[in-house]
Chain A
Amino acid sequence: MSPAILLFLALGLGLAGWLAARARAWTFRRDSANGRIASLPNYHAWYVALWIILPVLAFVALWSVIAPGLVGQSVLASPAAADLPDFGFQRQTILNEARAVATGAAPAVFNPQAAALVEPYREALSHYNLIGIAVTALIAFLGGTYAFLRLKPDFAARTKVERIVMAILLAASLVAILTTIGILASLVFETARFFGMVSPIDFLFGTHWGPDPMANPDNPDPTRYGAVPLFWGTLFIGAIIAMIVAIPLGLMSAIYLTQYANPTLRKWIKPTLEILAGVPTVVYGYFAALTIAPAIRDIALSLGASNPSTESALAAGLVMGVMIIPFVSSMADDSITAVPQAMRDGSLAMGATTSETIRRVLVPAALPGIVAGIMLAISRAIGETMIVVMAASTAANLSANPLDRMTTVTVQIVKMLTGEGSFDHPATLSAFALGFVLFMVTLGLNFIALSVVKRYREAYE
């Protein structure tokens, strides 16, 4: 509650500073000889407002971290706190209860000992609230005054404001980067714990997967933690079968849409294709499990396969391929459309046919975008879980036969994390190691995609 008050205070003060600075800048403008000042009045206004709001925001962030501690300390220092049980759980419960009542979050105390503490708590809270508000006002005043005093007719407020805005944008982009680093750090930590129990060699090169969450956690059987069948299943379903479907179909539809389709047809087909990308994967899963997988089994039977299963890598891969067609086609479409008309004209004027122009000029020129689209599609496919669970089973199987049941890394992550094992059992922790490998592979794919794009761009510009 108190940080919210401080924020409103900051915004109010900022607005006041904004208005004052703008008024001041207008007077510069009136007084100047030619009616011009170095920056527009609004920039002066923003300069002062930002100098008020940003320091206050920094203070509020800091304050909301340290204030509860300060309050707690002063409560403990009060005479009523002398009767508190010495340590631990009980003491904390009492304190929490008193605080809840003092802040109004709870109607009344339950524990009589807490009752005595409510009053000190209330006092401490209002005491520190006052300090917070006073400091906020002081900081706002200092920042605002400093900025305001710097205003002059020839003050370069615009450059200053733009520099501040740039810093804010930088901070925003850092959030994403820091999150990534945070995710990676937590993954690395848990993965390291797992590798403390099972050696990375066994994990990365073993060919049998079947962790037993009920086994003794202190002495896991390393031969049950070979992840190769999972890597293979992921690769086979997501990067091979699905891509055999998605790359040609996606590319051909993009070429048709950009080069041959008439505008009305394009207006219908393109959004329809993109709807494919919005269908929930569970729905694809149904389709794969209920329609495609049985059909594949029937075909396999009629071709003389003995005892084919209803779940198969082929079913999952085919449906997954259809699912990612829009990723390939819309990236390819965009990058083919982005090839300048002058290229096309140049080729046609040489007497090339439309298809020669597409093959020899448009597709090579659009290649970076096409490759990026394919990489995106692959990362999407190997991260896909639902279709595989429903159509390709959870049984790890190292086989090159697309009619076999197979499983993938993501499916096993879910299975291990939701299994019966306790949280620090190696079977559960193996999920993190799998996640880590998946993360690295996806990172690698993106890296390759970026460098391909870069190399071609250098060559083509």
Chain B
Amino acid sequence: MTVVHDNLEKTEAKMSAKGVSVFYGDKKAIDDVSIDIPTEYVTAFIGPSGCGKSTFLRTLNRMNDTIPTARVEGEIDLDGQDIYRSGMDVVQLRARVGMVFQKPNPFPKSIYDNIAYGPKIHGLAEGKDELDAIVEKSLKRAGLWEEVKDRLQDSGTALSGGQQQRLCIARAIAVDPEVILMDEPCSALDPIATAKIEELIAELSGRFAIVIVTHSMQQAARVSQRTAFFHLGKMVEYGRTSDIFTNPHEQRTQDYITGRYG
């Protein structure tokens, strides 16, 4: 089963998965995963392609609901309350647990409207001034303000890939979530844009609970303090990032991080 390192500081879990399994039809994609996600640290999910990282990430804000064949078993708590309980408001959940996708997916709207989208939907702003303030604050936090402040009415899709991804992050933080899920947010970006996003993650960490899926060990080592290694739908090992990389307890983890496969 999952090897959890025993030298971890005691933290309060923002989100907590308990015995979660996910099926696509009859196929089991995630098998009995339990993990706590703290606000204090950035958590990285690593593992070979197809091992279920994205699948598990998407259960955390119930994005798997959009896939008709997907079925989730087990319990996932947000602040101690099961997000899969009946009567759970998915709209509220997703406002609290935001998501950034692998490929930047800005809406075909202006930069301003991209950021204003969430606040408008959730009624976070009273009047134009407040909305303007939210847009400015979010863009500043995402480190995009200086680049776009003179062209907020331009289409968000006209930005470069890295700018688009920061726009998507800004869009996600505009609704003031408590958790941000990022699924390989830098896989479509060049090293400079990647560095900007990593900087941004460091900036945001501590304020939001952040989970990042990545294929790059270096990135996991740079941005995260906790790492979970997934393999064939199971969570194999969980611990401090530095320990996972220098002193893994499991052979499969060792093989993966030394590049034996994946």
Contacts and interface: CB of A to CB of B under 8 A. Distances in A.
Given A340-B105, A342-B103, A365-B108, A348 B118 contact: no
Interface string B101-137: 1010111110000000110011000000000000000
Interface in B41-74: 61, 63, 66
B139 interface: no
A457 to B, nearest CB: 10
Interface stretch (A153-161, A356-364, A398-406): A356-364
A343 B155 contact: no
Interface in A336-394: 340, 342-353, 356, 360-361, 364-365
B93 interface: yes
B126 to A, nearest CB: 19
B234 interface: no
A345 B63 contact: yes
Given A345-B66, A460-B157, A350 B94 contact: yes
Contacts of A344: 66
Most chain B beta carbons < 10 A, residue from A342, A346, A347, A364:
A346
Contacts of B95: 350-351
B30 interface: no
Given A349-B99, A351-B93, A361 B121 contact: no
| A-side interface mostly | helix
B157 A350 contact: no
Contact of B107 (A346, A353, A461): A346
Nearest to A367: B108
Given A350-B117, A360-B117, A460-B155, A343 B107 contact: yes
Contact of A348 (B66, B103, B106, B168): B66
Contact of A349 (B61, B108, B122, B157): B61
Given A345-B66, A351-B121, A351-B175, A361 B91 contact: no
B240 interface: no
Contacts of A346: 101, 105-107, 168, 171
Contacts of A265: none
A353 B101 CA distance: 18
B157 A461 contact: yes
A361 B106 CA distance: 10
Interface string A422-461: 0000000000000000000000000000000000000111
A340 B101 CA distance: 13
Contact of A350 (B66, B108, B109, B172): B172
B92 interface: yes
B204 to A, nearest CB: 17
**B interface, size bucket:** 20 to 34
Most chain B beta carbons < 10 A, residue from A342, A345, A349, A365:
A349
A460 B107 CA distance: 8
B107 A347 contact: yes
Contacts of A345: 63, 66, 101, 105
A265 to B, nearest CB: 13
A356 B109 CA distance: 15
A3 B216 CA distance: 70
B98 interface: yes
Nearest to B91: A351
A347 B63 contact: no
B92 A342 contact: no
Contacts of B155: 459-460
B117 to A, nearest CB: 6
Contacts of B109: 364
A340 to B, nearest CB: 7
Contacts of A459: 108, 155, 157
A350 B171 CA distance: 8
B246 to A, nearest CB: 35
A351 B105 contact: no
A348 B63 contact: yes
Contacts of A461: 157
A351 B92 CA distance: 7
Contacts of A348: 63, 66, 94
Contacts of B117: 347, 350, 352, 360
B84 to A, nearest CB: 17
Contacts of A353: 91
B110 to A, nearest CB: 9
Interface of A: 340, 342-353, 356, 360-361, 364-365, 459-461
13 contacts: A342-B105, A343-B105, A348-B63, A349-B61, A349-B63, A349-B101, A350-B118, A351-B94, A351-B121, A352-B117, A360-B117, A361-B107, A459-B108
* 9 tightest Cβ-Cβ pairs between the two chains A and B: A351-B94, A460-B108, A351-B95, A342-B105, A349-B99, A346-B105, A350-B118, A351-B91, A365-B108
Given A349-B61, A350-B94, 9 more contacts: A346-B105, A346-B171, A347-B117, A349-B63, A349-B94, A349-B172, A352-B121, A361-B107, A364-B108
